[in-house]
Structure 1
Amino acid sequence: MTDNRACPRPLPLGVSVAALGVSAVLTQLVMMRELLGAFEGNELVLGAILGNWLLLMGAGAWLGRWSDRLRQPAGVLAVLQAVLAILPVAMLLALRGLRHVLFLRGSAAGLSEITVFAFALLLPYCLTAGFLLALACGLLGRSAGSTGPARAYTLDSLGALVGGALFSFVLVRHVDHLWALYLGAALNLAAAATSAWSARRVALAATIALATAALATGAVLLDLDAWSIRLEHPRQQVLLSRQSPFGRVTVTTCGGQIDFFDAARPLFSLGERARAEELVHPAMAQRPDGRRVLVIGGGAAGLLDELVKWPVAGIDYVEIDAALVQAAWQFGVAALEDPRVRLIFDDARRYLQESPARYDVILLDVGEPSTFQANRFYTREFFALARRALSEQGVLAFRLGDYANHVSPELADMLAAAHRTLGEAFAHVRMLAFSSVVFLAGDRPLATDLAERIRQAGVRTRHLEPGILADAAAPLRQADLRRAVDRPAQINRDFNPVLYRHQMRFWISEFPLSFGLLEGVLLVVLAAYLVRLRPVGLAVFTTGLASSSLQIVLLIGFQIVHGYVYEGLGAMITLFMAGLVAGSWFGARGVPATRSVPVRASQRDEQQDRETPAQTERLTASLQAPRSRRTLIVLTLLLAALAGALPWLLGAMARPVHVGAFSGDLARPAFLALSLATGLLTGWVFPAAVRAQYESPARTGSKVYTADFVGSCLGSLLTATLLIPLLGVFAACWITAGFCGAAAALLAWRRVG
C-alpha cells in the first residue's frame, strides 16, 4: 500500500510540477534547435523530431496510470526528477558526439534515419517526464481530490510559460544551450530535494543536494560546451562558436581553409567564389551602369566580394543573423568594410514591405525553398514586392536546384513552378545552366552578350570564364531548360507552397523512406490506442491535434505577413502558453471541487459506512460528467469555428487596415490574440475532460495527458509534413475544422463510457 504519511505537502509538490514544466520546455527547445542544426532540418525533420517528443511524452503519461500503485510515490517523484535533471545534459553531449560517428561526415541523413535517431535520443527523458506528470496528478489528488489532475496541468503549463518566455527572450541571446540546460537541471534538483525533505526523506534530500553541488562544480570547472563542439567538428580546429536567436554560428579551420557552420550544418567556406560569381556577374552584366544593389542573404558567402568589383554607388546587404556577419567580418570578409556596403539586420521581406528604396539589381541568395521560411522568398507575393523595389530597368536574380548536365523530373517541377511564378511579376525571364540554374527577371529585355559586358566593365573573375558563360547559354542546355518550364505548373503562393512541395519530393527521392520494425510497431500501437479511445478521450485527442495544427498555421502566417521576427514568434508561443494556463485555471474553477458536492443527509451516514474516499470522488465526478461533456462539446466546436475562420482571417491580416481616419496594421495584435485564444480553448479542455471521465487522480490524469500528447503529435506531423505541403495552409485549416466538428458530433451522440 501507499505510504500516505510520507507525501510532500501541496506547496513543495506544486513547485516540483512547475519546475518540471520549466525544464521540459527548455529541454524541448534546446534539443529541437540542436537536432535541426545537426541534420540540416526542414519542416519534415522538425515534424519528425516534435512528433517523437510528443509521442514519447504520451507513452510516459500512459505508463503513469499505474503510478498510484507505488508504495512510496514521494520518493519515486524525487528520484525521477533528480534523474530528469541530468538527462538533458547527457542528451546534448551524446547528440554532438554521435552525429559523425553514426552518420558519415559531410553527408546528409534521410528522414527515416533521423526519426530513429531522435526516437532513441529522446526516449529516456520523455518517458520519464510523461510518467512524472501522471504521478504528480495522483499526488496532488490526495489534497485536491478530483481537481488534482487539472491543478497538475495548470502548474505544468505555468512552468512551460515561464520556461518558454525565459528561453525566447533571455537565454537564447546571452547563454549557450548547455547553460540553459544547467538552469533547468538546477530547478529540477532543487525541487526534488525540497519535495523529498517535505516528505521526510532526509537522506534522499541530502543525496540530491550533494548531486546538485557536484553538478554546479562540474559546470564551473569543466567547459563541456567547448569540448562537445570539438566533438561535433572532429579533425578541425574550432575558432569560434557564437549563439544567436537564429542558430549557432561556428567557425572552424582545417588545412588553412576556414569554414562556417550553423551548428553542424555547413554554410560556406572563405575563398570559394564559383557560386558567387555565377549569380553576381550575369545579373550585374544586365545593368552594368546600375547604381544601387540589394543583396538578400549570401553576402558574407562571397556575393559582396564579387559585387564590389563593379562600379556601383551603394550596396544594401540584408541579413537576419547579425552573429553570422560579425563572424565573417572577424575572419576576413574584406568587402564588409567597403564604404559602399550598408548592413541591415532584418527579415528581407519585412524590409521590402517597409522600405521606400529602389534598386537596379536585387540578388537573392537565401538557399533552396526547402523550408516554409525560405519558400516565402520564391512566391508570387515576394516577387511582387521585389518588382516594386526595382527601378524601371531593374533585374532580380536568384539560383535554384543543382544542375548536372541534365534536368531531373524533380528539378523540372521546381523550375516550371519558379518560372511560371516569376512570369506573374516580370515580363522577361531568362535561365542560365551553371552548377545551379540561375534565374534573371526584369521588365526590360535581358542581354545575352554577358561575357563581353563583363570584359568591358573590367571585372576579373576566377571561375566564370567566357567558355563557362557560353556553356550556360548553349542551345542544348537552353532546350533542356525550356522543356522543363513548358510543362504545366502551379503558381507558388505564400499560403500554397508549391516550390516547397517539389523540394520535399526531390529531397525524399534522394533519401527514400524506409519502413522498419520501429515504424511498424509504433503504427500498430497507435492504431490500437485510437481504436480503444472513448468519446471523451477522442475529444481531447482532437483538440490536441487542432491546437498543434493551428499553432503551426499561425506561426507560418505570422512569418508570411510580418517576416521572420524572432521576438514576435516568441511572443506568440508565450501567449499560447499563457492561454493554456488561463484556460486550465478557469476550467478547474468552473465546477465545485469534489468535497463541496452536496449529499443528502439521509445518505451521508450510509456512504460513510460503505464508501471509500475514492468511491466518493468517483460518485461526485459522475454527477458532474454531463455538464463537463457539454463543456467539451462547446470547446471543440469553438476550435472548429476558429480553424474554419482562420483562412479568411489570414487573408484579412495580410492587408493593411483602413478605417475612417485610422490607417494601420492590426495583424500583429490579431496574431497574438489568436494564439492566446487557441491556448485558452485548449487549456480549458483538460479539466473538463478530467471531470467527464474521472476514475482516480493518477489514472485520469494519465489518460487525458496521453490523449493530449498523442493528438498533438499527429497534429504537428500531419500539418507540417503532409497537409500544408500537399494542400496548402487554407486546406489544412478546413480539414482541422472538420476533425473538430466530427469529434464534437460523436461526443454529443454517444454517451461517455
Structure 2
Amino acid sequence: MCVHNSCADALNTHQTAGDRNSSFVRLRIFVLGFAAPLVQFVLFRELLGAYGGNEYLIGIALGFWLFFMGVGSQLARFLWRKETRGHLETWLFLVVAVLPSIAIISLRFARFHLFPEGAGVGLGPQIVVTVWGESLFCFFVGFLLARFALALSHTEAAGGIGKSYLIDSLGGIAGGLAFAFCLSWYFGHLQLTALVGFLMWGVIAWEGFRRTSSFLRVCPLLFIGSILFAALYAGERVTLSWLVPVGQVVDEARSAYGQILVSDLGGQRTYYRNGEPLFSTDTQELAELRVHFAMLSHERPKVVLVAGPMRPDVVREILRYPVEQVVAVEPDNELNRLIMRWESMREDPRVCVVNGDVRRYLATHQGECDVIVVDQPLPTTLLGNRYFTKEFAALAHKGLRKGGILAVPLGKFPEYPEPLRVRTIASVYRGFAQCFSHVRLIPADEILLLASDEPLPGDFTRAFDSRRLDTLIVRPGYFASVLTAERQKALQEMIALPEAANSDFFPLASRLQLQRWLSEYGYRFSVLEFFLLSIAMAIVSHLRRTELPLFVVSFCSAAFVYLTLLCVQILLGNVYFFTSLLVTIFMAGITVGTHMSKRLPQTAPTLLHLTLAGAFIGAAQILVVLFLHNVGMGESFSFYRVLAQVLGAVTVAAHGVMLFIMGWITGATFGVTAFVAFECPGDTSARVYTADFLGGAIASVLFATLITPILGIVWSLGGCAMAAFVVWVLLHWTH
C-alpha cells in the first residue's frame, strides 16, 4: 500500500498527544460512542413530541444528525496536518459534554414559546429547532471521531481507522443497552444528558490525574463539573413545566411509550405524553358523541371494548347502559396507573383495564364484543393511523359478535370541506367498507363512522326514548339538528371520491394529513429534496471509486433502519421504546462486521460483493414484513394464531436479525474501504467517515419526506434494495 512522501513527513513531524497515549484515545472514542446514542435517543424523543408524534419527520432529524457529523468529519480532513498536542480535542470534548443539556433546554424553551398550545407551527420553525438542537453536538462529535481515528492510524495505518470505528460501535452498544433497559426508566431526558456530561468531564479529569499524578490539579475541573451538571440535573422538573401551557404539573411518570405529565387547572386535568396532550377530563360533550351513537345502534350491548385509555367521561357514558362488561385496552401501563390515581371513578366490577395493544387483543379475542368504541385522535401519525386502516377494520370485524357495532371518530364536521381532508375521510371509509357490509357516516359535530354486518338503524330518537337516558348534548333535539338531509348529502359526496383504501403499509390517511399540514404554510417538499440532491451530487462527484460502495451501503442501511422502525410502529405501536433496542442491535452488527472485515479480502471486488449483499437483505426484509403482518392479523392458520400470542417478541427477533445482518454489511464495508482507500491517515479517515455519515443523512431525509410518503413502506424497501443493485451493476459493468 503506497503512502505519499508528504504524508510520511507529516507522520514523522506531527505527533499528537493521542499518538503517545493511544489508550486515552481509545477511551475517548468509547465514551463518545457511549454518549452519542444516549443523546440521540433523548433528542429524538423530545423532537417526536415537538413534531406532534409524526414519525416521518423523525427521518429529518436523523438526516440532520448524520449530515452534521459528516460535515465535522470533513472539516477534520482539512485540519489533519495541524499540530494541536491534544489540547484542541480536550477542550472540544469538554464542550461537547455540555451541549446535549443545552439542546434539551433549548428544545423545551422553543416548544413553550414557538409551539404554543392550539397554535399551528410550520415545518420551517421545526427544522430550525431541529438544526439548533443537533448541529453543534453532531458537528463536534464527527470532528472528534475523525481526529481520534487519525491518532490511531498514525501507529496502526489503515487498521487504526477500522479500530476507531469498532471502539465507537462498542460504546454505542453499551450506551444503547443502558438506555433501553435502565437509564430511560429512572431518569428524565435532561437528567440523562447531565449524567452523560458529567461522565465525559470525569474521563478528562481521570486522564489528567493519570498524566500528572496530582489530584489537586483536577479538583477545579471536578468541582465546576459537579456544580454545573447538578444544576442541570435539578432542572428537569422546571423545564418539563414549560411543556404544559396552562395549569400546574401535579404528577409525572416514564413508560415505554414516553414521558407522561398530568396538569391541573381548576379541577380539570390534562394528560400529556412527550409534551403532546392526550385528553382532558370533564369533556362530557365529546364523550357523548363518541359513545351514544354506537350504543344506540345496538339493541342489547353486553360487552363494550374501548380502544384507548380508560377516560372517565367515556366509561361513565357507557355505564348508562345495562352492559355486562367494559374493556378499556391501552398499552401504556403508567398512563392507566395515573388515571386511576387522579380520577375519582367509583369501583365497578363491570369495568376492566387491559394493558396491551388493542390490535393484538382483537386478533386473540375474536367474536367477544358487541360494540367497539375507538377513542383515538385523527390519523396524523403512523401510530394513530393503526386505528383507521382496512387491516384494523378486519381485526375489529373478527372481534365483533354478530350484529356488533364499530364506531370510529373522523374529526370535526367540515363546514367548508378541504380537498385533502375530504380525501382522508374517503380513504378511511373505503377501507372499512371493504370489511363491513354496512358503513355509515354520522354528520354530528364530530363525524362518526359506524360499521356493522347488520343494517344500521336510521331512527336514533326512538332508540334514545326507549333507553330513557339523561344526557347533556346527545338528545332528540340534537339528532334533528345534525342528521339533516343537507349534511348527510355532503358526506355522501365526500365518500363518492374514487380514493384508495387507507392501509397499514400504504398509510394514505396520515400522508394526506401531513400534506394538509404542510399546505397550510405553503411549504413544498421539493425545495428540501432539491437542496439535498444537489449536495448528494456534489459529494458523489468528489468520492473516489473505492468510497462509492460505502456511500451506497450507508445510504441503504440508513433507509433500512428508518423503514424498519416504521414497520415496528405499525405492527406494535411502540417505536418509542424499540428504537433504542433495534438501533443497538444494528450497531452490534456494525461492531462484528468491522471486526471481521480484517478476514475478508481487502480488495475492490469485496466492496462490490458487500453492496450486492445489502441489496439482497433489503429485498428479504419485504418478506419478513409481510410475514409479520400476517401474524399480527391473526390469520386462521394455527401457526399464525400461536405466533400472534407473542407478536412483540417475534417482531423484535425477526427485525433484530435483519438489522444485525445489515449492520454487519455496513461495518464490513467500512473496514474494507479503510484499507482499500488508504493513502494518508488524516485524509483517509476523514473521507471514509464523511462517506459513511453523508450517505446515511441523505437517505434518511429523502425516504422520510419524499419516497416513503409516496410509495409506502413495502415499495420503499424495494426501492432501497433496487438502488443498491443498480449501483452494483454500474460498478461491476465499469470494472
Calculate the TM-score normalised by the size of structure 1: 0.88
Pairwise mapping of residues 89-128 of structure 1 onto structure 2 (< 5 A)?
A: 89-128=101-140
Find the aligned partners of 2:156 and 2:340 in 1 and give their Cα distance.
Answer: 59
Deviation at 1:549, TM superposition (A): 1.5
- For the residues of structure 1 that align with 2:357 and 2:640, how far apart are their CA atoms? 26
Match of 1:669 among 630, 653, 665: 653
- Corresponding residue for 1:545? 555
Aligned residues of 1:236 and 1:254 also touching (Cα < 8 A):
yes
Q: Is 2:720 the partner of 1:736?
A: yes
Q: What is residue 622 of structure 1 aligned with on the other side?
A: none
- What does residue 5 of structure 2 align with? none
Q: After TM superposition, list the pairs within 5 Å mapping 1:631-670 onto structure 2.
A: 631-655=606-630, 664-665=642-643, 669-670=653-654
- Counterpart selection for 2:663 from 660, 675, 679: 679
Q: Compare 128-137 and 177-186 and name the one that shifted more.
A: 177-186
Distance 1:519 1:380, change over 3 A: closer
SS of corresponding position for 2:678: coil
Determine whether 1:351 maps to 2:335: no
Structure-to-structure mapping, 1:454-533, within 5 angstroms: 454-513=464-523, 525-533=535-543
Give the stretch that moved more between structures: 426-435 or 258-267: 258-267
**2:597 matches 1:587:** yes
Please show how residues 56-75 of structure 1 align to structure 2 within 5 Å: 56-75=68-87
Q: Which moved more, 1:18-27 or 1:197-206?
A: 197-206
The 5 A counterparts of 1:316-335 are 316-332=327-343, 334=345
Query: SS state of the match for residue 260, structure 2?
Result: strand
Instruction: Determine whether 1:212 maps to 2:222.
Output: no
Residue 289 (structure 2) aligned to one of 278, 293, 296: 278
Give the match for residue 623 of structure 1.
none
Could you tell me how far apart the structure 1 residues matched to 2:171 and 2:39 are?
13
Q: What are the residue-to-residue correspondences of 1:213-612 with 2, within 5 Å?
A: 213-215=226-228, 217-218=230-231, 223-233=234-244, 236-300=247-311, 302-332=313-343, 334=345, 337-356=347-366, 358-513=368-523, 525-562=535-572, 564=574, 570-590=580-600
CA distance in structure 2 between the aligned counterparts of 1:636 and 1:679, rounded to whole angstroms: 12
Q: Which residue of 2 aligns with 1:690?
A: 674
Cα deviation for residue 193 of structure 1 reads 2.9
User: Which range moved further: 254-263 or 704-713?
Assistant: 254-263
Query: Cα–Cα, structure 1 residues 745 and 196, in superposed 2: closer, same or farther, change >3 Å?
Result: farther
Q: Is the 8 A contact 2:117 2:245 kept in 1?
A: no
Q: Contact conserved, 1:8 with 1:74, CA < 8 A, in 2? A: no
Determine the C-alpha separation between the residues in 2 that align with 1:359 and 1:662. 22
Q: Which moved more, 1:358-367 or 1:508-517?
A: 508-517
Distance 1:445 1:88, change over 3 A: same
Give the distance between the partners of 2:639 and 2:302, measured in 1 at CA: 39
Q: In the alignment, is the contact (CA less than 8 A) between 2:367 and 2:401 conserved in 1?
A: no
CA distance in 1, matches of 2:368, 2:531: 58
- The alignment partner of 2:311 has SS state of helix
State the one-letter code of the partner of 2:37: V
Seq. identity, % = 30
The letter of the residue matching 2:47 is: L
2:280 & 2:303 partners in 1: Cα distance?
27
In structure 2, C-alpha distance between the alignment counterparts of 1:662 and 1:317, rounded to whole Å:
25
Task: Work out the CA distance in 1 between the residues paired with 2:88 and 2:262.
Answer: 44
Kept after mapping to 2: 8 A contact 1:43/1:721? no
CA offset at residue 81 of structure 1? Answer: 1.3
Q: Which deviations, in whole Å up to 9, do the C-alpha atoms of 1:20-56 show, x marking residues without a partner?
A: 0111111111111112213413023212222221211
Instruction: Decide which moves more: 364-373 or 507-516.
Output: 507-516
Offset, 1:745: 2.9
Structure 1 CA distance, aligned partners of 2:226 and 2:88?
21
Are 2:684 and 1:700 equivalent residues in the alignment?
yes
Q: What's the offset of the Cα at 1:90?
A: 1.3
Greater CA drift, 146-155 or 489-498: 489-498
State the Cα deviation string for residues 611-663 of structure 1 (Å, max 9, x = none): xxxxxxxxxxxxxxxx4311111111011111123323322343459999999
* 1:434 Cα deviation after fit: 2.4
Where structure 1 has 5 or more consecutive residues not aligned to the other structure, the ranges are 592-626
Residue deviations 1:228-269, cap 9 Å, x none? 122333563221222222111112233443222223322222
Code of the residue aligned with 1:370 in structure 2: it is T
Structure 1 residue 445: deviation in Å?
A: 0.6
What is the CA-CA distance between 1:552 and the residue it aligns to? Answer: 2.5
Displacement of 1:272? 1.4
Q: What amino acid sits opposite 2:297 in the alignment? A: Q
Deviation at 1:520, TM superposition (A): 8.4
Distance 1:658 1:242, change over 3 A: closer
* Contact 1:150–1:690 (Cα < 8 Å) also in 2: yes
Instruction: Give secondary structure in 2 for the equivalent of 1:690.
Output: helix
Q: What number of residue pairs does the alignment pair up?
A: 713
Q: Residues of 2 paired with 1:290 and 1:661: CA distance?
A: 33
Structure 2 counterpart of 1:77: 89
From 4, 10, 25, the counterpart of 1:13? 25
- TM-aligned CA deviation for residue 443 of structure 1: 0.2
Asked if structure 2 preserves the Cα contact closer than 8 Å seen for 1:261 and 1:267, the reply is: yes
Cα separation, 2, equivalents of 1:91 and 1:729: 31
Query: Equivalent residue of 1:241, what SS?
Result: strand
SS in 1 for 2:487: helix
Change (3 A) 1:206 1:164: same
Does the 8 A contact of 1:39 with 1:265 survive in 2? no
More displaced stretch, 442-451 vs 61-70: 61-70
Task: Give how far 1:8 is off.
Answer: 5.4
SS of 1:334 mapped into structure 2: coil
- Taking the aligned partners of 2:627 and 2:422, their CA distance within structure 1 comes to 34
Report the residue type matching 2:286 in the other structure: R
Match of 2:43 among 27, 31, 34: 31
Aligned counterpart, 2:10:
none
Kindly tell me: are residues 565 and 190 of structure 1, through their superposed partners in 2, closer, same or farther at Cα, counting changes over 3 Å? same
- What secondary structure, in the 3-state scheme, does the structure 1 residue paired with 2:252 have? strand
How many Å separate the matches in 1 of 2:279 and 2:640?
A: 47
SS at match of 1:431: strand
2:696 to 712, 733, 742: 712
- Contact in 2 for aligned 1:137/1:152 (Cα 8 Å): yes
Tell me if structure 1 keeps the 8 A contact 2:678–2:684.
yes
- Opposite residue 652 of structure 1, the aligned amino acid is F
For residues 200-227 of structure 1, the C-alpha deviation after alignment (integer angstroms, 9 at most, x for no partner) is: 69798555433333345435xx621111
TM-score with structure 2 setting the length = 0.90
Query: What whole-Å deviation, never above 9, does each CA across 1:569-601 have from its counterpart, x for those lacking one?
Result: 65433321211111111114546xxxxxxxxxx
1:47/1:451 CA distance change after superposition, 3 Å: farther
**1:497 CA displacement:** 1.7
> Aligned partner of 1:290: which letter?
P
SS at match of 2:242: helix
Deviation at 1:354, TM superposition (A): 2.4
Q: Which residue of 2 aligns with 1:159?
A: 171
Name 2:6's counterpart in structure 1: none
- What is the aligned-residue RMSD (CA, Å)? 2.8
The Cα shift of 1:553 comes to 2.6
* Gapped regions of structure 2 (runs ≥ 5): 1-12, 644-649
Change (3 A) 1:744 1:522: closer
- Residue aligning to 1:176: 188
Distance 1:319 1:232, change over 3 A: same
Q: What does residue 597 of structure 1 align with?
A: none
CA contact (8 A) 1:293 1:312 kept: yes
Q: Secondary structure at the match of 1:32?
A: helix
User: In 2, Cα distance between the equivalents of 1:658 and 1:16?
Assistant: 54
